[in-house]
Amino acid sequence: MRPFSFISHVVESDDDEEEDGEEGEAVEKTQKKKRKNKKKNKKKKKTGLGAAGQTSPPSIPVSQLFPNNSYSEGQICEYVDDNKYRTTSEEMRAKDRLNEQQLVDLRRAAEVHREVRQYARANIRPGMDLTTIAEMIENGTRALVEERGFESGVGFPTGLSLNHCAAHYTPNAGDFVEIKEDDVLKVDFGVHVNGHIIDSAFTMSWNDRYKPLLDAVKEATNTGVREAGIDVRLGDIGAAIQEVMESYEIELDGKVLPVKPIRNLCGHNIGPYLIHSGKSVPIVANRDQTKMEEGELFAIETFGTTGSGYVQEEGVCSHYAKTSDGQPRLPSAKKLLHSITKNFGTLPFCRRYLDRLGETHYYYGLRHLVDQGIVTAYPPLVDVKGSYTAQSEHTFILRPTVKEVLSRGDDY
């Protein structure tokens, strides 16, 4: 609507029609000029510095680098075959818009993950101890995501598993194991925003002889991500992953060894505040006919090994998660459970996190919660000693219109 209408003036005066007509033309020109000036003076939406504005070590919250929720999309993969119509369907686009806030949360968490891991990958080196590395990653995550309890924070304890240990190792207090030149280190950490979790992992080594092992899991994970989609069967994804993984071999100490998938480890779907939400994505062929569904969030993670291809629990436990709402009998366990529920809910935690909260003398209370089935313990998972394992992982969401690989970055 125009701010001033000269038409009413024209029809009101018949005697001064010519004069009013001239005035009307002059007013219209003035109004057009004003509208043009308004367009010129319109403020541009702030876009921020982006990741290039981050400090080293990372300390600036990503919300400041990406104002107005201007976080980058992940890798966009259009659906094919029977789902090809989704990319241009107006109905699917309308459904997609309903999930806008979830996507903003996930992209924010993914940006934090990329910036923290970029620094970690550039600075982790032999001679560093695992506690220093874990704190570097977790403190960076807390700063960049602006940790606020259940609103935003660390998604789960940082996994730092060496050599034949494939997963679920994070240092407890007093653990100062140092990385050696010939070690193979898996780095697995998560970020959450409003319970929406980004779970992504990579493997590092400082000896080129392990490159085929690292390449195997990276290509296997990319294959799993590529094959995933709405209505795709989980067992079929496992078969594709296995085929790629087993096409690799590695030479160690004069012996040529096959790279094997670790058969009893798998990917998973992710729910709000739940890192494992019910569905498992195998990394070997099986008969699982369960299908992926629209709207689901998945982490495809693959593990390769020079060992047996099977892991078992071994060693001192550090990872835990509340998995039941039972009531413990032991007073110290009741107190500890209150702290766990208040600070973590169903998000995984570790002993270092309890230490950070100021909890002391909690071991027997924690053990009681585990024995009662209220808290689940997740000990380290290891293959045979002397073997080497590697891991690669990405998180993606099956949007109504496209598949978005949220954790994708320039590094992997």
| Residues that are catalytic | 188, 199, 268, 276, 301, 393
- Asked if 380 and 161 touch (Cβ cutoff 8 Å), the reply is yes
For residue 395, report the phi and psi dihedrals to the nearest 5 degrees: -110, 135
Find, among 264, 271, 265, the residue nearest to 298 by Cα: 271
> Which residues, 6 or more positions from 293, have their beta carbon under 8 angstroms from its beta carbon?
230, 231, 398
Dist CA 407 CA 199 (whole Å): 8
User: Angle at the Cα of 101 (from 112 to 344), degrees rounded to 5?
Assistant: 60
Q: Which amino acid is at 341?
A: T
- For residue 25, give both structure tokens: 């033309």
Count, residues in the chain = 412
The answer to whether 402 touches 89, Cβ cutoff 8 Å, is: no
The two three-digit tokens of residue 344, written as one number: 């973590």
Give me the residues paired with residue 198 across strands.
191
